[in-house]
Structure 1
Amino acid sequence: MYQYFNGLVIREGTEGVPAPYVEALFEDAGWARNTPTWQKEKFSLIFMNSAWAFTVWDNEKMIGMVRVISDKIMAANIMDLVVLSEYRGRGIGKKLVQLCIEKLPHGDWFAHTSANNFKFYETCGFEVKNLTKNGTCAYYGYIQARKEGHR
């Protein structure tokens, strides 16, 4: 699936995500540096057991991504939501979270993250469950389902 968002292309899929682009995103976010050659394959292997993934492209440059681990029925965990620093503040991250929730709208969603991201997840409809340095943000789809009359 492809869709357009503010002049960018969002691709859905866990296959064929190029490891060098993922590594560049992780480096920009401060999550990786000086990765040994023998470990570089992990940047594409992480998608193999992910339930869903979305990547964001500006022409031939991958500028954002998110991947999800889920049972695809009741619960899901947002993993590795990242947008290149020069593209932040344009609603890309929020759009990625929205696309994730659409995959399991009445499920429970979690994102374990650092405190500096709590406000972002709150704007996406999540509750902050732990106000320590790192914590879990949660979106309870069953509450939304009740509001919509599904449960």
Structure 2
Amino acid sequence: MYQYFNGLIIREGTEGVPAHSVEALFKDAGWSRNIPAWQKEKFSLIFTNSTWAFTVWDQNEMIGMVRVISDKIMAANIMDLVVLSNYRGRGIGKKLVQLCVGKLPHGDWFAHTSANNFKFYEMCGFEVKDLKENGTCAYYGYIKARKQGHR
């Protein structure tokens, strides 16, 4: 599936995500440095066992991504949500979270993240569950479903 968002293309899928593009995003975010060549395959292998994934493209450059681990019924965890620093502040991250939650709208969503991302997840409808240096942000779809009369 492809869709357009503010002149960018969002691709859904866990296959064919280039390792070098993921590595570039991780380096830009400060998540990795000095990765030995034999370990670089992990940047594409992380998608193999992911349940869902979305990547964002500006022409031929991957500028954002998110992957999800889920049982597809009750719960899901947002993993590795990252947008290239030059593209931040344009609503791309929020759009990625919306796409994720849309896959399991009445499920429970979690994002373990650092405190500097708490406000972002709150803007996406999550609750911050732990106000330490790192914590879990949660989106309880079943509460929303109850309010809407689905459960």
Question: Could you state the TM-score of these two structures normalised by the residue count of structure 1?
Answer: 1.00
Secondary structure in 2 aligned to 1:118?
helix
**Runs of 4+ with deviation above 6 angstroms:** none
Matched, 1:9 2:17: no
CA distance in structure 2 between the aligned counterparts of 1:105 and 1:141, rounded to whole angstroms: 6
Q: What amino acid maps onto 1:9 in structure 2?
A: I
Following TM superposition, by how much is the alpha carbon of 1:147 offset from its aligned partner in structure 2, in angstroms?
Answer: 1.2
Aligned-residue Cα RMSD (Å) equals: 0.3
Cα displacement string for residues 95-145 of structure 1 (whole angstroms, at most 9, x for unaligned residues): 000000000000000000000000000000000000000000000000010
Q: In the alignment, which residue of structure 2 is the partner of 1:54?
A: 54
What residue is the counterpart of 1:86 in the other structure? 86
| Residue 142 (structure 1) aligns with | 142
In the alignment, the residues of structure 1 paired with residue 63 and residue 83 of structure 2 have an alpha-carbon distance, to the nearest angstrom, of 6
1:97 aligns with 2:100: no
Give the deviation of 1:148 after TM superposition.
Answer: 1.1
Whole-Å separation in 1 of the counterparts to 2:104 and 2:144: 12
Secondary structure at 1:81 match in 2: strand
> What is the aligned partner in structure 1 of residue 110 from structure 2?
110
Partner residue of 2:40? Answer: 40
Percent identity among equivalent residues? 86
Structure 2 gap segments, 5+ residues each: none
Alignment length (residue pairs): 151
Distance (Å, rounded) in 2 between the aligned partners of 1:76 and 1:143: 15
AA matched with 1:83 = V
Equivalent position SS for 1:53: strand
Mapped partners of 1:135, 1:93: distance in 2 = 19
Q: Secondary structure at the match of 1:26?
A: helix
Gaps of at least 5 residues in structure 1 are none
CA distance in 1, matches of 2:51, 2:76: 9
